[in-house]
């Protein structure tokens, strides 16, 4: 499907299913709302899928991998070659996200959407749009045509995974320099100064952080991205990983399945998707609040409350995957616990 067809086909969440899930929670023999955000997550998933019979038995982590030319500005602690090394380590099961995904019974789905060299490995999906982006401090990251291709690919991939039986998708990324591009995108989307939304990424000195902020300022001055046009924005100062993840959020909404926001970079991609189609907001789950400065700003803009507060900032989808066992625990109670009526107990009443 092309982007216009995707955007036109996304439908609102099912409020009736949400109400049925809420009634189920309230009937269970425990204090009302006592599992807090976990109860809310199950209710929201029911609304997304259109059924109060919530099943998350097949889950996947989509990791978009791409390089960013802005690393030439000295905005990272490590070199661009690390992107390819980690991308290949995904299929070997030797990354943090791979280990966590295995523990959470979650399939790992790594994608080469723009790594700067050829990468290989079993299970690695290849859709290399280019060998990394341009340096945003000197010109646009990519063409608008390439941005649209990346978004469409991500959306169609998510939709196809749903058709294969995946009931929830987590989002992750790998790309040295992508906190710089995500900060640039977020600065424009939220109309905030780059210094407010830019952090140390994987570990920058104060001098390095200053270079990073200045690189973003130059990128915005050189490219003049439009805040009212998400495609223009991601093409000029974003990255292929951001654009691909934006598509994953669109495709999940199209398929009627939940998509889990990971940290700051994933959140920036989700915000791009919501700006393209506001209905996407109903299909998002927030896993955690990133330790990056803009993590909280992005979640507030998406009107999402994270389940986990753990000061994580690893990326790769690690925070998103960490939510899955908590959802399993919540569903265990939701599906398996007796109701007040079944044990002849007087039900709790809501307080004013």
Average of per-residue pLDDT values in the chain:
95
* Res 352: pLDDT: 62
Spatial distance between the Cα atoms of 237 and 177, rounded to a whole number of angstroms: 12
- For residue 339, name the pLDDT band (cuts at 50, 70, 90): confident
238 touches 220 (CB < 8 A)? no
Report whether pLDDT(223) > 70. yes
Report whether pLDDT(7) > 70. yes
Between 37-41, 240-244, 268-272, 345-349, the lowest mean confidence (pLDDT) is in 345-349
Please name which of 278, 302, 276 lies closest in space to residue 289, comparing C-alpha atoms: 302
**Domain 59-328 of CATH type 3.40.50.10210:** yes
Q: Find the mean pLDDT for residues 174-195.
A: 97
Which residues, 6 or more positions from 329, have their beta carbon under 8 angstroms from its beta carbon?
A: 38
Q: Find the mean pLDDT for residues 130-158.
A: 98
- For residue 351, name the pLDDT band (cuts at 50, 70, 90): low
User: Which of these is catalytic: 152, 173, 292, 316?
Assistant: 316
* Cα 53 from chain centre: 24
- For residue 347, name the pLDDT band (cuts at 50, 70, 90): confident
What count of other Cβ atoms lies within 10 Å of the Cβ of residue 25? Answer: 22
* Res 263: pLDDT: 94
Six token digits for residue 321: 């995957």
* Res 206: pLDDT: 78
Q: Which residue would you say has higher pLDDT here, 269 or 343?
A: 269
Report whether pLDDT(63) > 70. yes
Q: Which residue would you say has higher pLDDT here, 292 or 325?
A: 325
Question: Is 5 among the catalytic positions?
Answer: no
Phi first, then psi: what are they for 171, rounded to 5°?
-120, 140
């Amino acid at each position: 499907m092309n982007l216009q067809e995707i955007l036109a086909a996304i439908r609102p969440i099912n409020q009736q299913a949400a109400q049925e899930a809420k009634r189920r929670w309230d009937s269970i023999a425990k204090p009302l709302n006592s599992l807090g955000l976990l109860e809310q997550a199950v209710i929201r998933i029911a609304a997304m899928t259109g059924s109060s019979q919530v099943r998350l038995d097949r889950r996947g982590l989509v990791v978009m991998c791409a390089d960013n030319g802005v690393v030439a500005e000295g905005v990272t602690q490590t070199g661009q070659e690390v992107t390819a090394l980690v991308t290949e380590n995904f299929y070997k099961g030797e990354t943090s996200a791979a280990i966590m995904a295995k523990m959470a019974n979650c399939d790992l789905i790594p994608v080469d959407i723009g790594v700067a060299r050829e990468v290989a490995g079993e299970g690695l999906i290849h859709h290399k749009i280019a060998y990394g982006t341009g340096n945003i401090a000197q010109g646009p990251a990519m063409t608008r045509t390439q941005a649209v291709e990346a978004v469409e690919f991500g959306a169609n991939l998510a939709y196809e995974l749903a058709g294969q039986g995946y009931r929830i998708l987590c989002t992750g990324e790998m790309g040295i320099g992508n906190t710089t591009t995500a900060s640039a995108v977020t600065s424009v989307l939220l109309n905030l100064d780059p210094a407010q939304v830019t952090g140390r990424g994987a570990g920058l000195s104060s001098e390095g952080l200053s270079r990073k902020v200045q690189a973003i300022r130059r990128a915005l001055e050189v490219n003049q991205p439009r805040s009212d046009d998400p495609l223009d924005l991601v093409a000029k100062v974003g990255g292929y990983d951001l654009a691909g993840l934006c598509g994953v959020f669109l495709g999940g909404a199209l398929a009627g399945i939940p998509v889990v926001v990971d940290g700051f970079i994933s959140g920036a991609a989700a915000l791009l998707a919501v700006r393209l189609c506001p209905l996407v907001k109903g299909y998002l789950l927030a896993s955690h609040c990133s330790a990056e400065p803009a993590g909280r700003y992005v979640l507030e803009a998406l009107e999402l409350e994270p389940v986990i507060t753990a000061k994580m900032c690893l990326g790769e989808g690690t925070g998103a995957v960490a939510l899955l066992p908590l959802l399993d625990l919540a569903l265990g109670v939701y599906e398996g616990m007796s109701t007040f009526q079944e044990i002849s107990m007087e039900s709790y009443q809501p307080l004013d």
